[in-house]
Structure 1
Amino acid sequence: MRKDHKVTANDMKYLQLLAQSFPNIPEASTEIINLQAILNLPKGTEHFVADIHGEYEAFLHILKNASGNIQRKVNELFGNLMRESDARELCTLIYYPDQKLELIKAAEENIDDWYHITIHNLVAVCRLVSSKYTRSKVRKALPRSFSYIIQELLHERTDDANKADYVNVIIDTIISTGRADDFIIAICNVIQRLSIDQLHILGDIFDRGPGAHIILDTLSRYHSWDIQWGNHDVLWMGAMAGNRACQCNVIRLSLRYANMTTLEEGYGINLMPLATFAMDTYGDDPCEEFIPKISSADSARVDEKSIRLAALMHKAITILQFKEEAAIIKCHAKWKMSDRLMLNYIDYDKGTITLNGKEYPLKSNSFPTIDPKHPNRLTPEEKQLMDKINHSFQVSEKLHKHIRLLLQHGCMYAVFNNNLLFHASIPLDEDGKLKEVEIIPGTTCSGKDLLYNIGMLIRSAFQTDSTPEERNYAIDYFLYLWCGPDSPLFDKSKMATFERYFIDDKETHTEEKGNYFKLRDNEQIVDNILDAFDVVGDNRHIINGHVPVHVCNGENPVKANGKLMVIDGGFSQPYHKETGIAGYTLVYHSRGFVLVQHEPFTSTIDAIQKCSDIKSSTQIVEMSSHRMRVADTDIGRELKNQISDLQRLLYAYRHGYIKEAIPNK
């Protein structure tokens, strides 16, 4: 409230609206007391992950175990009071209550005794993980059928002699009425939910692994999450929007890793026309350079015949990709990507290609669908095939649902609690200044405006009120975002797809990284980026992924004197040998930042049957000098504004500007 205590006409309009929610002094005062109390709770725990790449089993396990935090809570709570094997059994029950209960009931001789002990232990764990939240927030997290019972158990203790019998009778009755299994499943899910307050995904849910659709199904039910779109997410957005080059890339990447589960089982994309075309067109071609990359763990599930068919399909869709990309690139000369029209530079008689004035022999010169005079033109059969593929993407209801989910929860960047989040890079000039990039012809922008405008352009591809010209350009632009040199989701000199398939000489495979990747260890550069995005505070950071951190080579994920954290540790199996680990989770709790480094996850079955967990090690990145409260967060700033508004409302009531409603007795 201003010191002169005047209430202006604009104040009155707002305060009258506020009075509808808080119609008298007692209700407004109660809300102020409630909000002031919330400000002094510890801040909620945020988890940051990046580059999941379809590895759903590992990702879901990390959600369930809160990146090892639940195990730490169990150890903290029971310490030497519980054997290690019992602690692991309890943790596994919390992660997988449905499946674990079936195994326990088959082996346990005195199940009622087990129920009694276990429910007491689960209530203790739930009480600990819920202690940093208001009762109201905990109540909202509880399942309706057990809400009252869980609330009673959380707020009463057996060490209180007056309430011991009361608590024990509640638990005995849960067991005697046959509701023990349902209660255990419910409270385990509550523990999982309360262990992570906010989940941040820094891009790339899709590609390589088998379960992007399973991850998105899980997120559709998750209580609080956001995503900063990655290049692979945008590729799938483009495919759904109708960008045929993106559709080819999506299929090619799936075939490259012999992993068609997401496409076929997840989204019902019909690849039979591609298989038929590939066998008819490339049946006599060895296609050696297109044999899928299969991990040792997956080799048992793929037979030679399947590998052979995948190689044929892989080549067929790759050639189609080059042609479809060329059609888009030719329409947009200002993208300056004509050097990627690789089919134009081949001497089909000699079996060579000339790049930058140098001639290279090709690994293979079998191009039955290419007319050397018009190398980028689709044959009638290819055009018919692409029509079928496009139709399959357009009619996939589940894919449409999941892309809408990404649009609802995502953007190109976000700022949370003084942390700037984005997937890959911010285009920079050689001197580290923000680079001006042309998105729409005739309009350039940089930094924050660049990412914001790209986000708006992406959304226009799915909006019915966009003009046909706007929508078509936006759909084409997905290809630039995937592989354009100044794309903040790519930021390299080129994508050497053709070169890796067809040229042995590795000098042609080099993809020079943009200036952001060269300069991101410079603290001043990072500070300049944070300033450009209006990120303030003493402890501000950039957090992103995209480029795997090679831990096995000694690379540190924490850069720029602690101001930048790269959390792509290689969730995807193909990266495990390259990075030496199997992913990171960055955890930001009330005492600071902890980077959790994960070893490879064996399987969900092992986790349930053998009580195996993901082995994780932690690295303290930054600890706060004081325990952070809700008051120190973005939500805290919002609550302080609400308190200020409510105090103004109290003044208006007390000085007669607004009449109170009589409270109901």
Structure 2
Amino acid sequence: MEELKYLKLLSKQFPNIPAVSTEIINLKAILNLPKSTEHFLTDLHGEHEAFQYMLKTASGVIEYKINNIFDKELNEVEKRDLATLIFYPEEKMEKIENKNIDGLTEEWYKDSLDKIIKLCKEVSSIYTRSKVRKALPEEFAYIIEELLHLRDDDENKKDYHEQITSTIIEIGQAKNFIKSLSELIQTFAVDKLHIIGDIYDRGPNPHKIMDVLKNHHNVDIQWGNHDILWMGAGLGHKPLIATAIRIALRYGNLEMIEEGYGINMRPLARLAMENYKGDICDVFCPKLLDKELEEKELRISTQMQKAIAIIQFKLEGSLIKRRAEFNMNEALYLEKIDYDKGILYLNDNEIELTDKNFPTIDPDDPYQLSPQEEEVINQLSESFKNNDKLQEDIRFLFNNGSMYKKYNGNLLFHGCVPLNEDDDFACVDVGGRRAKGKELLDFFQDIIRKSYSDTNGDEDQRDWLWYLWRGEYSPLFGKDRMTTFLRYFTDEDDKSLYKENKNPYYKARENEFTCKKILSEFGVDPEKGHIINGHTPVEEKRGESPIKGNGRLLVIDGGISAAYQKKTGIAGYTLAYTHSELRLISHEPFISKEEALTKRSHDTVSSIRIMKFDGQQKIADTDNGAKLQDDVKYLNKLLEAYEKGIIKEKYK
């Protein structure tokens, strides 16, 4: 009876035998199309321009297609010129126009259109006409569809094709067509985009990356610890707000907060200048990678960083005392200081502080905010909670993100699945119960969603977001402690103070058995599936391999963030999963759009083929294929119900 109810509902969409038959034919045909390309990227850390370039180039896929199609027809420089025309059509055409006396000639337009149409046909050939049609720009949809489905060997329509391109040029629409076709190629080259966490922090433009992702045709996100930091900050959680601002100041990205999100930082600047006016604060000097600040701006930024850091440590101390179950008493640094002597008492050691100026701290109540500090953090909390742009961004992260994802036989998560020293799943006290493995990640995912959906703003739930940022058994952090306070206030030569021990997962993932155990825990085939991680930059220049566990685990953090490139020796990885192979691509540092336009060589440093498939993977082999096959099963039952008269057909 339940099945009959479902079939009757289905009959409203397919009311008769011809309608249901057409859909069965369509779906069974789709199941035999090649699997479309998936791209995996991680740890973008605000590097908007590098990320945009990876999307525009499909991480080398478009150049690879150009090389295959035009191998005998074009030389290497001509191939690169065609590639840059597709990546940056407007800028490339402007350059050519300025360079040539006659500007862009009719012959150039015709030749470029012919090549771009040919390439667009190739990259769109694995999709149905319906899917291609939906991706077309509305203003040129009919003409582009005609051009894409004309066969080169069709003599009957040769003049028809030539007349279309000639008329496009004649009526002054060639530039617009080249731009539209180039954007289509970029879209078709990568069907599915997976971001394995950490969009925010360190780099200057995470808000611009969010704009790109919100407009992407098909993206999912696995949250990273830096994403959770900003999601919690967007909900108004004060320790996370203070941390987010401190990190922005640490990397000289105040502009992102003030201009990108339009949040007023003047109250914090006033607090800093009034309380830390004569403070040298050298250790709080911003880490500037690609820019310089004027001396006055640098001094204010340094003072602001110290001011917000002290607020952060006070708020965190209060939180740790309130949430004893987090077991983080070691980080209660402010109550372990002799403020007269400038000594920190830690683990039976006396450590002299390198900075002894704490004008806003009351030694008798070190976690109490001063009235001015309280006013500043309250204002910032309201600004974060009521900022339309930030709220739109975190809404997208909450709605489109997850702690982990199983997709087409792979297991995606940002950091780790916490393990014990014996490589078994760590059992953690959470929410009044004990959880481990998949159950632990499910708990955190549930609490993250509740923290957003709870309109009353339950502080207990949002404290868990802070735990995910820096807690010992956080799958997103994966270390036993965070030593930010010690890095600021103790001798940087004493490295033992700063040591943050990684969870045993990071050693155990080298073992194939452990990787297979994790895959099985999450219901993924341990013999065919892969774990795909970010979070820990692969030090390729020291010989570290991104491939772990005999190929069962892939770490794809290659240092897109400029802050990590000295460590990794490269500028990021892209994992490409096509119908024929799984390939890891490493990148050179992205310099600028101008450099990309004038470059005469390919961008890829190297690529590693992880797996070559026997035969072509089809849609039938994917998760979506399994759903379509299920649809076909019920459509066949509906067809049978029509044929037996159990459900009556309807015709207009």
TM-score by length of 2: 0.97
2-structure distance, mates of 1:207, 1:143: 34
Q: Does 1:142 align with 2:158?
A: no
2-structure distance, mates of 1:48, 1:158: 34
Please give the residue correspondences for 1:481-492 in structure 2 after superposition, counting only pairs within 5 Å: 481-492=468-479
Q: Does 1:305 align with 2:292?
A: no
Among 33, 50, 57, the residue aligned to 2:25: 33
Paired residue type of 2:396: L
Q: Does 1:463 align with 2:450?
A: no
1:610 offset after TM fit, Å? 4.8
Hey, what does 1:6 align to over in structure 2? none
* Preserved CA contact (<8 Å) 1:588 1:594: yes
1-structure distance, mates of 2:436, 2:84: 48
1:614 offset after TM fit, Å? 3.3
Deviates more, 1:474-483 or 1:557-566: 474-483
Q: Does 1:171 align with 2:165?
A: yes
Hey, what does 2:70 align to over in structure 1? 78
Q: How many residues align?
A: 648
Hey, what does 2:121 align to over in structure 1? 127
* Preserved CA contact (<8 Å) 2:531 2:552: yes
Q: Does 1:343 align with 2:334?
A: yes
1:538 offset after TM fit, Å? 3.6
Hey, what does 1:454 align to over in structure 2? 444
Among 571, 575, 584, the residue aligned to 1:586: 575
Hey, what does 1:323 align to over in structure 2? 314
Query: Where does the alignment leave 5 or more consecutive residues of structure 1 unmatched?
Result: 1-8
Deviates more, 1:416-425 or 1:524-533: 524-533
Deviates more, 1:198-207 or 1:616-625: 616-625
1:413-466 CA distances to partner (integer Å, 9 max, x unpaired)? 1100111111101111222222222222x122222222122112112222245x
1:537 offset after TM fit, Å? 6.3
What is the RMSD computed on CA atoms of the aligned residues?
A: 1.4
Please give the residue correspondences for 1:253-652 in structure 2 after superposition, counting only pairs within 5 Å: 253-295=247-289, 297-299=290-292, 302-440=293-431, 442-464=432-454, 471-504=458-491, 505-536=494-525, 538-610=527-599, 614-652=603-641
* Preserved CA contact (<8 Å) 2:63 2:602: no
Q: Does 1:659 align with 2:651?
A: no
Among 62, 66, 71, the residue aligned to 2:54: 62
Paired residue type of 2:438: K
SS at match of 2:519: helix
Structure 1 residues 537 and 127: CA distance shift in structure 2, 3 A: farther
- Which 4+ stretches in 1 moved above 4 angstroms? 609-613
Paired residue type of 2:120: C
* Preserved CA contact (<8 Å) 2:516 2:527: no
SS at match of 1:427: coil
* Preserved CA contact (<8 Å) 2:150 2:161: yes
Q: Does 1:240 align with 2:229?
A: no
1:643-662 CA distances to partner (integer Å, 9 max, x unpaired)? 11111111111111111123
2-structure distance, mates of 1:406, 1:183: 34
* Preserved CA contact (<8 Å) 1:606 1:612: no
2-structure distance, mates of 1:261, 1:212: 12
2-structure distance, mates of 1:279, 1:80: 66
SS at match of 1:162: helix
SS at match of 1:377: coil
Paired residue type of 2:28: Q
1:144-167 CA distances to partner (integer Å, 9 max, x unpaired)? 111111111111134432221110
* Preserved CA contact (<8 Å) 2:572 2:587: yes
Paired residue type of 2:545: N
Structure 1 residues 107 and 463: CA distance shift in structure 2, 3 A: same
* Preserved CA contact (<8 Å) 1:600 1:614: no
Q: Does 1:153 align with 2:147?
A: yes
Identical columns (%):
47
* Preserved CA contact (<8 Å) 1:157 1:167: no
SS at match of 2:647: coil
1:353 offset after TM fit, Å? 0.9
1-structure distance, mates of 2:52, 2:438: 32
1-structure distance, mates of 2:587, 2:27: 38
Query: Where does the alignment leave 5 or more consecutive residues of structure 2 unmatched?
Result: none
